[in-house]
Chain A
């Protein structure tokens, strides 16, 4: 389960909270895109989709990472 608070005790940013609501039990999707195998990989901490991996079948593997933005500070 992702954490609701950062290590400094502040509430995490909305993007992270939204990802947490998806839940740790979310099953990464896998689908076929014209013969290319697409697989979601989950962010280990937040449970959000951290990346999508594309396996072409000829050994080539692409990856797109979704960089989660960093929340700085907040209302104390």
Chain B
């Protein structure tokens, strides 16, 4: 039981490129949900869905402004900043922020799963990517902030 190293879900990526899935990377709702290090069964190469399998349990509990499912990115954007790079970022907000939260002990988040809350087919609520924080993060009656990388966003492709 542990949060896998950060990954983009390969099966969802395949569905996207093959046309089996048609996400709109700008207008769809993408949410970031916090999961603990007790998550089990993640698979970067199989279809994963929020609320199913590995993502059916071990989400951080509701606390403060954090509620199951997490919070939507403000302005999801697929962006090409230069030749040879495409990245997925939140162009509207640098971070996801939850206030008045307590995540302690086994409820401390180890990573965040970003999922599509708009797509209904071929699989509803697909996991897009999961980012391992590299450590468990405990907060007490405080503010939990997940800040995205300013240069590379959530994930990026370099093809040249």
The chain A residues found within 8 Å of chain B, CB to CB, are: 6-7, 13, 15, 41-46, 48, 50-51, 53-54, 56, 59-75
Contact = CB atoms under 8 A, between A and B. Distances in A.
Contacts of A64: 95, 145-147
B79 interface: no
Interface stretch (B4-12, B55-63, B117-125): B4-12
A61 B6 CA distance: 26
Contacts of B25: none
Interface in B43-102: 87, 95
Given A6-B5, A62-B139, 5 more contacts: A44-B134, A65-B109, A65-B145, A67-B131, A67-B133
A65 B137 contact: yes
21 contacts: A41-B137, A43-B133, A44-B134, A45-B132, A50-B133, A50-B135, A60-B140, A61-B139, A62-B142, A62-B143, A62-B145, A65-B109, A65-B133, A65-B145, A67-B131, A67-B146, A69-B151, A69-B153, A69-B156, A70-B131, A75-B160
B156 to A, nearest CB: 6
A15 B134 contact: no
Nearest to B145: A64
Contact of B134 (A6, A46, A60): A46
B144 interface: yes
B21 interface: no
A44 B153 CA distance: 21
B137 to A, nearest CB: 5
A51 B137 CA distance: 8
Given A65-B133, A65-B146, A70 B155 contact: yes
Given A51-B135, A68-B134, A70-B8, A62 B149 contact: no
B131 A60 contact: no
A26 to B, nearest CB: 13
A41 B131 contact: no
A67 B112 contact: yes
A31 to B, nearest CB: 18
Interface string B1-36: 000011110000100000000000000000000000
Contact of A61 (B138, B149, B155, B158): B138
